[in-house]
Copies of this chain bind each other. A is one copy, B any other.
Amino acid sequence: MNPDALRGHMDALLLSVLEREPLHGYAIIEALQERSGGALNVPTGTVYPALRRLERIGYLSSEWATVGGRKRRTYRLTETGRRRLEGERSAWREFTNVIGSVLRAETSGLT
List, in ascending order, chain B residues with CB within 8 A of A107's CB.
Answer: 19-20
A19 pairs with B102, CB closer than 8 A: no
When the two chains form their complex, are residues B36 and A98 in contact, meaning their CB atoms are under 8 A apart? yes
Report if A102-B16 is in contact (Cβ < 8 Å); known contacts: A1-B95, A95-B1.
yes
Instruction: Note all chain B residues with C-beta closer than 8 A to A103.
Output: 12-13, 16, 88-89, 92
Interface size on A, residues (CB 8 A): 36
A interface SS class? helix
Using known A-B contacts A20-B107, A96-B96, A107-B20, determine if residue A101 contacts B5 with beta carbons closer than 8 Å: no
Q: Does A4 contact B (CB under 8 A)?
A: yes
- B13–A2 touching, CB < 8 Å: no
A30 on interface, CB distance cutoff 8 Å: no
CA distance A3 to B8 in the complex (A): 8
Q: Which residues in A have some Cβ–Cβ distance to B below 8 Å?
A: 1-9, 12-13, 16-17, 19-20, 32, 35-37, 39-40, 88-89, 91-92, 94-96, 98-103, 105, 107
**A–B Cβ pairs within 8 angstroms, 9 of them:** A3-B8, A5-B91, A17-B102, A20-B107, A32-B102, A35-B102, A89-B103, A92-B99, A92-B100
